[in-house]
Structure 1
């Protein structure tokens, strides 16, 4: 009689399958060359794979065998997606897994390195997100800028700011245009984690995407799964309003909008680093353009083909990248605390490529040897320099004469 694997966690198998977007248990069974009923029993916990099958699973799903024995990262708090109804179930499952893996990698890194302390103010107090009015969100945006001491001008790198105040940020290819980013709070360290899409590499777009997820972390930390399902549209509207108010403050941005034309908004994009489309929406929110002007500007915007790519999107600014996790892993290795091989063999149970993607490490980072610092020996013996004379003070001519 073949024995299973003690301690096998069925949810881990589902997680690994969803991470590779394998659509069903039967599809995984075909890849493994086993009966679909076997994979079904492994995923529902009725039975577990024997050691040989476990090794085969690990190889096919690109994880270490120990992956299936470690507890899953769980959270009672929801993960915030830009849309639930229009995204494919398979894409949403993939993103949820990537968020759990980001939190898992973050927790491992924090065994060795202290990440920036969480410095995120409680902007709601005893209020609920459902009680917020537009003027409340505008006030919160200005309060945040004062709290983080960034003034009321352009915020030139939202990603760097978020990492400085305690966010953990990863970036991966989402594989769909319907998802730009997601945010979730980890119960392990009470720290917000954000995943940003790399599919559309435009600086201004990433600014808004990052600010949008930051807004979720601030306004919707205690939202339940049920509230997220029933209030999704309202929750998304609030997050966009706060992101826009944070990037384009009501006290300064309107003063620079002399003529609300597309040409003027291109110039303002150069300074504020916010997309033209988002600026149009901001002008409408602040009642700086009429109800007729906004649709007209959107039509002109679309007619110019800017829905696909705006002016200044390409090559104007270097895309802002998260760096905290990458810096922490480099520190761990450079300090000799853990080698790269140790990290893969002991700490991480997902593949090297997955860790590199989530942490914004260069591809192949784990396979490269750590750089050695070589002390150069002088070719000639150094001779001490001795001063034999005192310096002379040379007076400058008086040019006033």
Structure 2
């Protein structure tokens, strides 16, 4: 009689299936050579896989066996993503699984490395996010800039700012342009984690995505999962308004718009590094331009073919997060652990998964960690170097 695996965590199987974009239990069952009801019962926790089945799961899903014996790294708070469309269910689950893995990496690394303290001011006090008015969000944007000493001009690169205030940032390729980023909290509820998509990425788009997820971390920490699903539209509207107000402060940016036109916005894009479309939306929010003119600007923007890519989008290099990557390098370079130790003891996902989430170079885990010794090369005299290093071979006579 086969005995199941004690301590098997069903949610980890569901997570791994989402991480590998295996949409159905039937598809996984076919890959394993078992009936689909078996996979279903594993995920429900009704039965657990035996040792052979656990090894097959490990091989098929590209994780270590111990992966299924550890708890899921996930907060009780919701993960904030932009859409709830049924057509994106698989993509959303993939994004959520990668965010959980980012939280797991972060949690383990913090056993060895001290991350920056979380510095997100309490801008709501005793108020609820539901009570926020547009003028409140504008005020909060300016308060955040003052608190983080950003000034009231262009923000600069948003990613280093996120990491400086204690937010863990990761990036992944989503395979769709319809999902941009996701904000979540660590299981202890203290540290925000942001996962940004890299698909068709430009610097202005990265700026808005990062600021949008930052807005969730500032405004929506206490939103429940039920509130999120019931109020997604309003929550997203608040996040976009705060992101726009943070990147284009009401006290400075509008005063630089001499005449609202696409050419003006293109000139301002070079300075403020936000998209032309976002600038139009910002001026509409501030009611600086009438709604009918906003519509005309959007139509002209689309007619120029700028919906997919605007001028200057390729002008600036998109930076990568450094916090997780630097933590790995610090641990290895200081000799606290070896790469092999980390893979064998600490982490249960594949090296490729870790390298991707941590923005480490591909193959980083198989690179040598440094040469402690090397072959001694005997010194050679000048004459030997000049004349004794080769043999003269005559050409054959014809």
Q: Shorter chain as normaliser: what TM range?
A: over 0.9
Which sits farther off after the overlay, 78-87 or 319-328? 78-87
Aligned position for 1:319:
318
* 2:166 alignment partner in structure 1: 166
- Partners of 1:359 and 1:92 in 2: CA distance: 20
**Would the aligned equivalents of 1:107 and 1:188 in 2 still touch at CA under 8 Å?**
no
Displacement of 1:188 in angstroms is: 2.6
> How far off its partner does 1:286 sit?
1.1
Consecutive unaligned residues of structure 2, counting only runs of 5 or more, are 377-398
Alignment of 1:80-119 (within 5 A): 80-85=80-85, 87-119=87-119
**2 CA distance for matches of 1:64 and 1:15?**
14
Is 1:280 the counterpart of 2:276? The answer is no
Q: Is the 8 Å Cα contact of residues 323 and 360 (structure 1) preserved in structure 2?
A: yes
Cα shift at 1:74: 2.8
Tell me, yes or no, if the aligned pair for 2:74 and 2:103 is still in contact at 8 Å: no
Q: Which residue of 2 aligns with 1:332?
A: 331
| Superposed structure 1 runs of 4+ greater than 2 Å apart | 371-375
What is aligned with 2:151?
Answer: 151
**2:394 alignment partner in structure 1:** none
Alignment size in residue pairs? 377
What is the distance in 2 between the residues matched to 1:252 and 1:357?
Answer: 38
Alignment check: 8 A CA contact 1:172 1:196 kept: yes
| 2:151 aligned with 1:139 | no
* 1:82-140 Cα deviation digits (max 9, x unpaired): 11136521111111111111101100000000011101100111101111111000000
**Structure 2 residue aligned with 1:359:** 358
Distance 2:336 2:303 in 1: 57
**Structure 2 counterparts to residues 334-349 of structure 1, below 5 A:** 334-349=333-348
Indicate the larger mover: 258-267 or 31-40: 31-40
| Structure 2: distance between partners of 1:175 and 1:361 | 20
Cα distance in 1 for residues equivalent to 2:62 and 2:371: 31
**Cα offsets for 1:231-263 (capped at 9, x unmatched):** 111110000000000000000001110011101
SS at 1:312 equivalent: coil
TM norm structure 2: 0.92
State the partner residue of 2:181: 181
Q: State whether residues 261 and 297 of structure 2, in contact with CA within 8 Å, keep that contact through their aligned partners in structure 1.
A: yes
Q: Is the 8 A contact 1:353 1:364 kept in 2?
A: yes
**More displaced 10-residue stretch of structure 1: 267-276 or 284-293:** 284-293
- Alignment of structure 1 residues 262-281 onto 2, 5 Å: 262-281=262-281
Distance of 1:189 and 1:325 partners within structure 2: 19
CA contact (8 A) 2:75 2:189 kept: no
Distance in 1 between residues matched to 2:36 and 2:85, nearest whole Å? 30
What is the RMSD computed on CA atoms of the aligned residues? 1.7
The alpha carbon displacement at 1:189 in A equals 5.9
Deviation of 1:374 after TM superposition, in Å, equals 8.3
3-state SS of 1:208 partner: helix
Equivalent residues of 1:141, 1:249 under 8 A apart = yes
Alignment partner of 2:138: what SS? helix
Within 5 A, what are the aligned runs for 1:347-386?
347-372=346-371
Distance of 1:291 and 1:57 partners within structure 2: 56
Following superposition, the deviation at residue 176 of structure 1 comes to 1.7
String of CA shifts for 1:16-47, please: whole Å, max 9, x gaps. 11111111111101011122222222111121
State the secondary structure of the residue aligned to 1:196: strand
**Contact 1:269–1:275 (CA<8 Å) still a contact in 2?**
yes
Q: Distance in 1 between matches of 2:220 and 2:121?
A: 13
Query: Using the alignment, how far apart are the partners of 1:373 and 1:164 within structure 2?
Result: 35
The answer to whether the 8 A contact 2:138-2:250 is kept is: yes
* Paired residue secondary structure (1:88): helix
CA displacement at 1:372 relative to structure 2? 4.0
Q: Could you say which residue in structure 1 is the equivalent of 2:46? A: 46
CA distance in 2, matches of 1:177, 1:86: 16
CA contact (8 A) 1:137 1:241 kept: yes
Deviations 1:179-215 (A, max 9, x none): 1000011133610000000112200000000000000
User: Secondary structure at 1:80's aligned position in 2?
Assistant: coil
Q: Deviations over 1:155-187 (max 9, x none)?
A: 110111010000000000112222100001113
Partners of 1:283 and 1:296 lie apart in 2 by 14
Q: Hey, what's the Cα distance between the residues in 2 that align with 1:333 and 1:87?
A: 42
Which residue in the other structure is 2:379 paired with?
Answer: none
Aligned 8 A contact 1:86 1:178 in 2: no
Superposed CA deviations along residues 328-353 of structure 1, whole A, max 9, x for unmatched, are 00000111111111111110100111
